[in-house]
Amino acid sequence: MIPYLRPDNLEDALSALSEHPRTLLAGGTDFFPARVGKPITDNVLDLSGVESLRKIQQTADGFMLGGLTTWTDIIEAQLPPAFDGLKQAAKTIGGVQTQNAGTLVGNICNASPAADSVPNLLALEAQVQLQSVRETRMLPLEEFILGNRKTAKKEDELISGIFIPQPAEKGRGNFEKLGTRAYLVISIVMVGVVAELNESDEILNLKIAVGACSPVAQRLRLLEQEAVGQKLKSIKILPAHFESLEPIDDIRATADYRKKVVPELLLRAIKGVI
């Protein structure tokens, strides 16, 4: 039997992980729902006491969102307009209760296709900071999430932060979420976007990703390329821009529907940056 541990510093947490594989617990908003009516038999490393991980730091070249950054922390933080999409996503996750407890890192580690943080973090070109006693390594988020519920995190690693490279000064974020009710919504489709415009509202730079339409949210790079130079208000979305999406039928909607509403959501997300 391995005792429950709730260290108050990162070193102890890493050291515990180096000894035994453990289930990591932070906000608990995915951990407990997966264990309804079942005894909890996991060997748990509870990270919620590592206060040093709960901060958002501006660095020379970007922002480091500490590993325990909650949705509420994102909503309340002073961040550049490029983070607006992430902030909007934060406000639509579960209820305020979930926003107060749930962490961004938990959301990416859970690696659900419908994880609301992911399209936004992809549009922000987020990097994941994986830490173990062996090393600290950075992975682009696209390389971190490998599939549905699958990540590149090794057993002795934890995610100590999410790094967002300094967004362009004029970068603006936006988020479109499609769901069936007003609160407590799991997305049918969502789009995260960061766009940079010139004075005449022409697109200088676009980063855009779609979630819940493939095992992992996807950046739409062809659209990103072709958007450059277009006027925001008259931007064209073509089928080729999102043909890589492979949505499925589930309880929330049909695959066919998902694919058909994507262009409208892309338009709304892009046009909504201003």
Partner 1 sequence: MSTTEKTTVSFILNDIPQTLSVNPLRRFSDVLREDLGLTGTKVGCDAGDCGACTILVDGEQRYACLTAVGQLEGHSARTVEGLAKNGDLTALQQAFLDEGAAQCGICTPGMLMAAQSLLDRTPNPTEPQVLDALGGVLCRCTGYTKIVEAVLKAGQTSASEATPPSGSAVGSRMVKVDGKQKLTGEEIFSADHAPEDSLWLRAIRSPHPRAKFTLAHPEKVLNKYPGIVKILTADDVTGNNGFGIYPHIKDQPVLAKDHVRFRGEAVVALVGERDAVESVSEEDLGLTWEPLEAIRGWDAALSGKLEPVQAEIPDNILAEGLLKKNDVEKAFAESFAVAEGNWTTSAVEHGYIEPEAGYARKVGQRLEIFVCTQSPYMDQTEVAQVLGLELEQIRIIPSAVGGAFGGKLDLSVQPLVALAAWILERPVRCIYTRPESLASTTKRHPVQMRAKAGCDKDGMLTAYEYHGDFNTGAYASWGPTVADRVPIHCSGPYFVPNVFAKTRALLTNESPSGAFRGFGTPQAAIANDALLDELAEKVGMDALDFRIKNALRKGDRTPTNQLLENSVGQLECLESLKSRWDSWRKEAEVFNQKNTKLKRGVGCGSAWYGCGNTSLSNPSTIRVGINGEGKLTLYNGAMDIGQGANTIMVQICADALGLPASQFEYVMGDTDLTADAGKTSASRQAFVSGKATQLAGEHLRAQIIHLAEATENATLHLEQNGTSGSGEIIVADETGEHVIVLADILPQTNGDVLTGEGTFDPPTTPLDENRQGSPYATYGFGAHIAEVEVDTMLGTTKVLRLAAAHDVGKTINPTLVEGQIHGGVAQGLGLALMEEYVQGVSENLHDYLLPTVGDMPEIEVILIEDPEPLGPYGAKGIGEHALIPTAPAILGGIKHATGISIRHVPATPDRVFTALQEAGKNNG
Pick 6 or 170: Cβ nearer partner 1: 6
Q: Does 60 bind partner 1 (CB under 8 A)?
A: no
> Which of 77, 101, 146, 204 is in the footprint of partner 1 by CB under 8 A?
101
Q: Does 96 bind partner 1 (CB under 8 A)?
A: yes
Q: Are 179 and 89 in contact (CB under 8 A)?
A: no
Site string for partner 1, 111-150 (x = CB under 8 A): ----------------------------------------
Residue closer to partner 1, measured from CB, 109 or 141: 109
Q: Does 28 bind partner 1 (CB under 8 A)?
A: yes
Q: Up-side HSE of residue 179: CA atoms within 13 Å toward CB?
A: 17
Choose the stretch contacting partner 1; rule: CB under 8 A; options: 90-98, 103-111, 138-146, 231-239: 90-98
Distance CA 269, CA 17 (A): 40
Q: Is 188 in the site for partner 1 (CB under 8 A)?
A: yes
d(CA 259, CA 145) in angstroms, rounded, equals 22
**Cβ-proximal residues to 118 (8 Å cutoff; 6+ apart), any chain:** 107, 108, 141, 145, 192, 209, 211, 216, 217
Instruction: Tell me phi and psi for residue 83, to 5 degrees.
Output: -85, 0
Q: Which is nearer to partner 1, 46 or 196 (CB)?
A: 46
Bridge partner residues of 44 (DSSP): 23
What does the alpha-carbon distance between residue 131 and residue 171 come to, in Å, rounded to a whole number? 30
Q: Which two tokens stand for residue 111?
A: 């690696």
Q: Indicate whether 12 belongs to the interface with partner 1 (CB under 8 A).
A: no
* Contact stretch for partner 1 (CB under 8 A) within 43-51, 125-133, 194-202, 227-235: 43-51
Nearer to partner 1 among residue 82 and residue 232 (C-beta) = 232
Do the bridges between strand 136-140 and strand 127-131 make them parallel or antiparallel, or are there none, so unpaired?
A: antiparallel
Pairing status of strand 203-211 against strand 189-197: antiparallel
Size of the site for partner 1 (CB under 8 A): 51
Classify 198 as helix, strand or coil. coil
Selection from 186, 183, 208 nearest residue 272 by Cα: 208
Query: Which token pair is 209?
Result: 């990703």
Site string for partner 1, 154-183 (x = CB under 8 A): ------------------------x-xxxx
Tell me if 239 contacts partner 1 by CB under 8 A.
Answer: no
Nearer to partner 1, 23 or 225 (CB): 23
Site for partner 1, rule CB under 8 A? 1-4, 6, 25, 27-29, 31-33, 36-44, 46, 48-49, 72, 91, 94-98, 100-101, 178, 180-184, 186, 188, 251-254, 256-257, 260-261, 264-265
